[in-house]
Amino acid sequence: MTMEIKLKLNGKILCGQIEPDCLLIDFLREHGCYSVKRGCETSNCGLCTVLMDGKPVLSCSILAARADGRDVQTLEGLQAEAEDFVGFIADQGAEQCGFCNPGFVMNTIALLRENPDPTDDEIRAFLAGNLCRCSGYEGQLRGIRNYLNSRKG
């Protein structure tokens, strides 16, 4: 038994048929959002992070039906906003393999929307749900800090 959902995905209205047990990550990937990655499948790595109504959520833990009537954004729809700071993260060698990068970028966008001038501890707390096996997180922190400092002057 399928059901229809309608949501705004990256600024465009999208209608789709889903099975009741369809996860949001699968729905998004079926509709071309490949920045949303499957990692741990236990809600621990952050690779599947998307913004739902402006708040970061783990798409591997949410049924697609819960996105009905909501506004969902993936990295595909936030390229312009992400461009501002991803170079700063790359300059710190923080994207060695790049697999975790979309989750970090999505959470950084959410953080900076909520708190435009966070402390290092606030950055660490906000990014704590993202798993990175290459860099040890300090590169991401330095990149975000350098970006924030560049905005100040």
Residue 138's Cβ-side half-sphere holds a number of Cα atoms within 13 Å equal to: 1
Q: What is the mean pLDDT of the chain?
A: 89
- The answer, yes or no, to whether residue 94 has pLDDT greater than 70, is no
Between 43 and 24, where is the model more confident?
Answer: 24
Give the predicted TM-score (pTM) of the model: 0.89
Percent helix / strand / coil, the chain, rounded to 5: 45, 20, 40
CATH match for 3-74 among 3.40.50.20, 3.10.20.30, 1.10.490.10, 3.40.50.880 = 3.10.20.30
Using DSSP, state whether 5 is helix, strand or coil: strand
- The answer, yes or no, to whether residue 84 has pLDDT greater than 70, is yes
Residues 48, 37 contacting (CB under 8 angstroms): yes
Kindly state the average pLDDT of the residues 64-73: 98
Run of H or E residues at 107: helix 101-114
Kindly state the average pLDDT of the residues 70-98: 85
CATH T-level fold of 78-152? DNA polymerase; domain 1 (1.10.150)
Domain limits, the chain:
3-74, 78-152
What is the tens place of the pLDDT at every residue in 100-121? 788 888 988 999 999 999 999 9
Query: In the chain, which ranges are E strands?
Result: 3-9, 12-18, 49-52, 55-58, 71-73
Residue 15: its pLDDT value, please? 97
Distance of CA 75 to CAs 3, 54, 59, 102, Å? Answer: 26, 13, 13, 7
- The answer, yes or no, to whether residue 63 has pLDDT greater than 90, is yes
- The answer, yes or no, to whether residue 96 has pLDDT greater than 80, is no
